């Protein structure tokens, strides 16, 4: 007896696309096949839809605790559910920072109460906890370690190579790095006084990223620690990363695959401001090549909500970051429909490889025994992304007004719908993702 059977969707399985039924029991995929006539509590017709393993966003900032007027675990996870995202990994630059066992456990308990989809949290590396990362990273709901090598939003920063090395020596989970060189960021900031946001990528220039990435890879080599390079944005880093595939995995944001400078700053001003910056077309093209060649491992939205009145401050007082968790799936499905990547490659980047990179248990594949986390998409739907659709408390998206082809129409978390036909259903049911 199945709890739920999804009938007749085109399932993206490890063996390719197949028109199959998905039978679910106890929150897990029990059987994939032709299940007509088999008893089920509920049968949902998925004819005409594609059934993907649940999309996981491995980089979001949900602002709880401390800045919950911008976002909290409830609103951020609601945005995830509406956008077809079945799990997220959340960053530690909240207030206070997630840098201790108690603070991480607090987030996990809070998310168990309020999160619509499954979740995990990064432990933030700091000068104070550098030698204790090995214990901290083993906590329930911890997906890995986050180290800010250059400063961005919040107070977390580890810019001393000696401390960076101590972090890499403590523990074994992947250390996810925000890779910009702090000394160069500081030295260059005064050069741009009185200038506009179009200089954001010049202040935080390619060399900032390349220097920082080269240095952290050298430390990873010395220590043997595996890294995950978050939001890689420059052509110059790609050869370095390619030469170190054994140690380093690579994440790229959909924003950098969809916008470029100077166009984005002309259209959106400081709404397009994020760290590391959206850069000129040369970098955009190099990132696409890296997606297409297989070099890029995963996509992460870097969902980083800031209110419109904060964004209206003159650059560089305007904060960096933009919402993204709700738009990741439709924006990338549009790229699929435009022929820039296959649906299978999108599933690899945003589900299977996220689970692989972070060793998430029972996630990322449509196979029996795995969690029944499913993202149902209508590849033919043509829709306009609008601010009014955005569930984030800040109520805006850089993609407002963009027409896309391909839309998430169902989000199933461990066997239960949390979004169906565009509406939230049920109640928050998120649980911590488990890691091997
Ligand atoms: O643009 C960004 N915003 N980059 C980051 O690294 C942090 C994020 C935020 O939390 O606002």
For ligand 1, pick from 97, 179, 182, 320 the residue to mutate: most ligand atoms within 8 Å of CB: 320
Regions in the chain scoring below 70 on pLDDT = none
Task: For residue 320, give the ligand 1 atom closest to its CA.
Answer: 1
Distance 132 CA to ligand 1 centre (A): 25
Q: Is residue 80 helix, strand or coil?
A: helix
Beta carbons of 369 and 154 less than 8 angstroms apart? no
Q: Residue with the nearest Cα to atom 7 of ligand 1?
A: 153
Ligand 1 centre to CA of 322 (Å) is: 8
Ligand 1 atom nearest to CA at 63:
10
Question: Which residues have CB under 8 Å from 394's CB, separation 6+?
Answer: 70, 71, 305, 306, 307, 308, 323
Say if pTM beats, i.e. exceeds, 0.95. Answer: yes
Atom of ligand 1 nearest to the CA of 305: 11
Ligand 1 centroid vs 59 CA: distance in angstroms?
Answer: 10
Q: What is the pLDDT of residues 262-281, one digit of tens each?
A: 999 999 999 999 999 999 99
Mutational pocket test of ligand 1: of 62, 64, 93, 152, the residue with most ligand atoms within 8 Å of the beta carbon: 152
Tell me, in angstroms, the distance from the centre of ligand 1 to residue 278's CA.
13
Residue 360 neighbours by CB under 8 Å, 6+ apart: 56, 87, 120, 143, 354, 433, 434, 435
Please state, in angstroms and as integers, the Cα–Cα distance from residue 394 to each residue in 42, 90, 194, 397, 403, following that order: 36, 18, 27, 9, 21
Which protein residues are within 6 Å of ligand 1, measured from CB? 61, 93, 152-153, 178, 274-275, 304, 320-321
Domains parsed from the chain with CATH numbers: 2-51+367-424 (2.30.40.10), 55-358 (3.20.20.140)
Look-up: residue for tokens 């989000």? 411
With a pLDDT cut of 90, the percent of the chain lying above it is 99
Q: Are 90 and 123 in contact (CB under 8 A)?
A: no
Q: What is the pLDDT of residues 349-405, one digit of tens each?
A: 999 999 999 999 999 999 999 999 999 999 999 999 999 999 999 999 999 999 999
What is the pLDDT, as a whole number, of residue 136? Answer: 98
Q: Whose CA is nearest to atom 4 of ligand 1?
A: 275
Q: Cβ(80)–Cβ(93) under 8 Å?
A: no
What pLDDT does 7 receive? Answer: 98
């Amino acid at each position: 007896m199945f709890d739920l059977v999804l009938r007749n969707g085109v399932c993206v399985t490890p063996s390719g696309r197949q028109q199959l039924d998905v039978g679910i029991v106890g929150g897990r995929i029990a059987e994939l096949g032709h299940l007509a006539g088999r008893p089920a509590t509920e049968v949902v017709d998925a004819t005409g839809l594609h059934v993907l393993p649940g999309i996981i966003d491995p980089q979001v900032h949900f602002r709880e605790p401390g800045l919950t007027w911008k976002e909290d675990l409830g609103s951020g996870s609601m945005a995830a559910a509406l956008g077809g995202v079945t799990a997220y990994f959340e960053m530690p630059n909240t207030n206070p920072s997630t840098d201790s066992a108690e603070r991480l456990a607090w987030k996990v308990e809070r998310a168990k109460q309020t999160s619509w989809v499954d979740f995990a949290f990064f432990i933030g590396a700091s000068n104070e906890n550098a030698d204790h990362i090995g214990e901290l990273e083993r906590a329930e709901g911890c997906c890995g370690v986050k180290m800010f090598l250059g400063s961005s939003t919040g107070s977390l920063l580890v810019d001393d190579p000696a401390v960076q090395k101590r972090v890499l020596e403590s523990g074994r989970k992947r250390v996810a790095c925000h890779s910009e060189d702090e000394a160069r960021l500081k030295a260059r900031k005064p050069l741009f006084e009185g200038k506009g946001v179009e200089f954001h990528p010049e202040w935080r220039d390619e060399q900032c990223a390349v220097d920082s990435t080269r240095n952290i890879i050298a430390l990873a080599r010395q220590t043997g620690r595996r890294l995950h390079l978050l939001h890689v944005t420059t052509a110059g880093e790609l050869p370095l990363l390619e030469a170190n595939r054994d140690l380093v995995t690579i994440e790229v944001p959909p924003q950098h695959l969809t916008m470029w400078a100077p166009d984005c700053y002309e259209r959106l001003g400081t709404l397009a401001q994020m760290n590391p910056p959206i850069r000129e077309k040369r970098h955009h093209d190099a990132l696409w090549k890296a997606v297409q060649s297989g070099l890029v491992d995963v996509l992460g939205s870097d969902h980083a909500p800031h209110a419109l009145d904060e964004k209206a401050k003159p650059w560089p007082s305007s904060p960096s970051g933009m919402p993204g968790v709700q738009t990741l799936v439709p924006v990338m499905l549009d790229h699929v429909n435009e022929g820039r990547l296959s649906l299978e490659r999108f599933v690899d980047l945003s589900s299977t490889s996220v689970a692989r990179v972070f060793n998430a248990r029972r996630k990322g594949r449509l196979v029996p025994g795995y969690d029944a986390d499913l993202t149902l998409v209508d590849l033919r739907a043509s829709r306009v992304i609008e601010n009014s659709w955005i569930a984030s408390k800040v109520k805006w998206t850089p993609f407002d007004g963009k027409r896309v082809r391909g839309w998430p129409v169902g989000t199933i978390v461990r066997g239960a719908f949390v979004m169906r036909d565009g509406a939230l259903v049920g109640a928050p049911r998120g649980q911590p993702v488990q890691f091997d």
